[in-house]
Amino acid sequence: MKNKQYSLKILETSIVNEEKFIAFFDANYMLFKDHLISIKGDLSDNVKKYLLDKKLIYVNNMTLPQGRSRKALEEEIHIHKTPCESEEYKKLEAQLAEERKDNAVNQQIAKSEIAQLHRKLAHNFTVIDSIIRSGREVNIDGDLLLLNRVNSGATINTTGNLIITKVVEGAVRCNGNFMMITVSPKANIIFNGVEVDNELLTDKLNRIELKNREIFITPVLKKEITWVQ
């Protein structure tokens, strides 16, 4: 038996206006070409043909499993861990191993993967205070607090949340639950696969977050701070 696991990005949508739908995909093709498109509601032949022409892979009216938040994942790992240590579970595991070796190997892999994920979740916070110069690519598995500039030509990738306190002129890719960023007219910001419009960043610090699969931008720190004399 050969197993392969991977995550993929899904764009869930429904069609109200066909023209608008097609125009949207024409405009955002680069962003969604590797996504799985999940469409609710009926599909006309016209749309089907369009999707086929564009080589976009889609499913229609299918219920897909929903992703879980970090907290839910952590809780799940916790639940998985407790029975692992009990006598009963060990017995059961030994039985299974004797019966089907293949399965035992798979379980081992799953266990080590969960352990790895747990380690990741436990030590996932990085602080960087050096300037990120052109040509540097910072890949962080977890959360990042960056206390300096990101210069033009530099790239920041994080799987977790991201806070940058100074101006960004490079590219930023964040896949966490939220990010905070200052006014950065030259930055290229992609948050969970969606490009963030720089003009929406208007204050000293803006909070960008994903709520119910929608992106919200809220000001955190106003530009002008007036101190008491």
Partner 1 sequence: MGTVIAVISGKGGVGKTTATANIGVGIAMNDKKCVVVDFDIGQRNLDMILGLENRVVYDIVQVMDKEASVKQAVIKSKINKNLHFLAASQTKDKSILSSEKVKSLIDELRLNYDYVILDSPAGIESGFEHTIEYADKAIVVVNPEVSSIRDADRAIGILDAKSQKVKDGDDVSKYLIINRIVADMVQSGEMLRSEDILDILNIPLLGKVPEDRGVIDASNQGKPVISNKKSIAGQAYERISKRICGKDIDIRDVESESAGMFKKIAGIFK
Question: Please, what's the largest Cα pairwise distance for the chain?
Answer: 78
Helix (H, G, I), strand (E, B) or coil at 187: coil
Residue 111 interacts with partner 1 (CB under 8 A)? no
Of 103, 9, 109, the residue nearest 57 (C-alpha):
9
List Cα–Cα distances, 98 to 54, 72, 101, in angstroms: 50, 33, 6
Least separation in angstroms between CB 204 and partner 1: 16
Terminal-to-terminal C-alpha distance of the chain: 73
List Cα–Cα distances, 99 to 84, 87, 92, 94, in angstroms: 19, 19, 11, 9
Residue 185 interacts with partner 1 (CB under 8 A)? no
List Cα–Cα distances, 64 to 8, 12, 36, 125, 183, in angstroms: 12, 10, 11, 31, 37
Q: Give the residue with the Cβ less far from partner 1, 150 or 208.
A: 150
Cα three-residue angle 146-151-157, rounded to 5 degrees: 50
Residue choice 149, 172, 180, 184 for contact with partner 1 (CB under 8 A): 149
Other C-beta atoms lying within 10 Å of the C-beta of residue 92: 12
Residue choice 67, 83, 153, 185 for contact with partner 1 (CB under 8 A): 153
Residue 145 interacts with partner 1 (CB under 8 A)? no
Q: Give the residue with the Cβ less far from partner 1, 47 or 146.
A: 146
Query: Given the structure tokens 């899904």, which residue do they identify?
Result: 10
Stretch that binds partner 1, among 4-12, 52-60, 134-142, 219-227 (CB under 8 A): 134-142
Residue choice 12, 74, 93, 169 for contact with partner 1 (CB under 8 A): 169
Residue 58 interacts with partner 1 (CB under 8 A)? no
Residue 136 interacts with partner 1 (CB under 8 A)? yes
Determine the size of the site formed for partner 1 (CB under 8 A): 12
Stretch that binds partner 1, among 27-35, 149-157, 173-181, 212-220 (CB under 8 A): 149-157
Residue 131 interacts with partner 1 (CB under 8 A)? yes
Q: Give the residue with the Cβ less far from partner 1, 83 or 153.
A: 153
Give the residues lining the site for partner 1 (CB under 8 A): 131, 133-136, 148-149, 151-153, 167, 169
